Amino acid sequence: MRIFHIATAEDWAEAQRTGAYTTSTRGVTLEQEGYLHASRADQWEAVRQRYYADVTEPLLLLEIDTDLLNVPWVEELPAPEATETFPHIYGPLSPRAVVGVTPVNGP
């Protein structure tokens, strides 16, 4: 299965240098959140519009092959009051599991 994560170009470059991507979502680390936020193909555009519309630095859409993850991932509600599930990755993302990187700047 393919899932997606919006990353800053700077965070992605750091992950390629260190071998581990650890930004959960904008301004929040994996350590703080407990997992990395991700989206299905039909969800990432709404996430970008809702949470990243005002970002001026380069953004990238990471396409992740879940078969290549070396940490668990689950589809779950992001909050008790939520009605839609999202994929969550429970551990650092290995750049090896990222099979596509696409620039996604602009609202």
**Residue showing tokens 């170009």:** 9
CATH number of 2-103: 3.20.170.20
pLDDT of the residue at 107: 47
**Binning pLDDT at 50, 70 and 90, where does residue 16 land?**
very high
Q: How many CB atoms lie within 10 A of CB 30?
A: 21
What is the average pLDDT score of the chain? 95
Decide: 11 and 21 in contact? Cβ < 8 Å: yes
pLDDT of the residue at 78: 87
Task: Write out pLDDT tens, residues 58-85.
Answer: 999 999 999 999 999 999 998 899 999 9
Q: How many CA atoms lie within 13 A of 80 on its CB side?
A: 0
Q: How many CB atoms lie within 10 A of CB 14?
A: 15
